[in-house]
Amino acid sequence: MKREYGLDQVVHDDRSLVTVGTFDGVHLGHQAILRYLVRRARANGGSSVVVTFDPHPREVVRGEPVPLLTTIEERAELLEALGLDRFIVIPFTPAFARLSAEDFVERILVGRIGLKEIVIGYDHGFGRGRGGDAALLEALGEKLGFAVDVIPPQVVEEHVVSSTEIRALLIDEGDVREAARLLGRPYALGGTVVEGARRGRSIGFPTANLEVEHPRKVIPKAGVYAVLATLDDGVTTLGGMMNIGRRPTFENTGLHLEVHLLDFEGDLYGRRLRIEFVERLRDERKFDSVDALVEQLSRDRERCMAAVKTLH
C-alpha cells in the first residue's frame, strides 16, 4: 500500500476509487465499506484509495480534543492488511476546514487525486459546515464525470457500529470484550517502557511502566485487565496483567499504565510494547495492606492466565 502524507506527495491517478473519512478505529462497519471499495476497484481495474485527515477534523472545527482509537500509523497498518492500494492523509488545518464541499471535490478529489468513483456512506457530510452530501456528489459526478456509490449503514448483529460508541465502551466502562467485538479485533495501544518506582518487583510482581506513544490515544477505564503484550521484535507475545490507575494503596498520584508479564524475566527499559486488551478483571481499589494487595494480585494473575491461554 502506498502511503501519501500531505497533498504534495499525492500522485494523480484517474483510476482512483475513493472513500473519504476519519475511519478512526477501522471497526467492523468501516471494514465492510473498505472491503467493498477494494472489490470494486479490483473488478474495475482501478486503484482503491482512502482519504483521511490528521488531526481529527473535530479538533480543528470545534476546538475539542478527540480520543483516538487508532493513530494514523495504526490506521495505515490496518488498511494495508485489508488490501487497500493507497492511503492519503490530508493535514486538517483551519484553512482546509474553510474549503467548500464543491472545492474539495473539484480541487482535491478530482484535480489532485484523480477520481473515477467515490464510495460514500448514506449520511456522510463533508466540506465547510459539512455542506456536502450524497446528492451534491451525484450532481458533481454528472458534471465532472465520476460515479457515486452510496452505501447503507453497516450493521453488526442488528447494531450500527460507531467509533463514538466504541470509545464510550472503553473509556466509561472498560468493556474491552464488547469493544473487541465491534472492532473485529482486540483494542490495542503501544508505548515505551520507562523507569518506575520498582515497587512491583519488591512484592513479587515486577511491572513494566508504559508511556503511551500518542497523547490522544484512548486509555480504557482505570482497572485491572488481562492483556497480550507483543515486544518490539514483532515476534514475542506474552500474556500479561495490566493495571491502569493511580496506585491507591501507595502514592495515589497520576495515571499509570503498568503491565506484569507472565513467564518473563529480563530488562525492558526503552523497549516498545504493543498491548492488546483481552478482558477486564476488576476495578482498581485501595487495599488495607501490602499483603492484601499481593493476595489479590495472585488471584488476578490466575484469571489472566486463564483468559489469555486460548489466545496466546
Query: Which of the residues are catalytic?
Result: 258
DSSP states of the chain: -EEEESGGG----TTEEEEES--TT--HHHHHHHHHHHHHHHHTT-EEEEEEEES-HHHHHT-----BSS-HHHHHHHHHHTT-SEEEEEE--HHHHT--HHHIIIIIIIIII--SEEEEETT--BSGGG-B-HHHHHHHHHHHT-EEEEEPPPBSSS-B--HHHHHHIIIII--HHHHHHHHTS--EEEEEEE----HHHHTT---EEEEES-TTB--PPSEEEEEEEEETTSS-EEEEEEEEE--TTTT--S-EEEEEETT--S--TT-EEEEEEEEEEE-----SSHHHHHHHHHHHHHHHHHHHHTT-
In the block, which residue shows the cell 471535490?
105
In the block, which residue shows the cell 460508541?
165
Backbone angles phi, psi at 275, to 5 degrees: -105, 125
What phi-psi label fits residue 8: left (phi over 0), alpha (psi between -120 and 50 degrees) or beta?
alpha
Rounded Cα distance between 49 and 103, Å, is 19
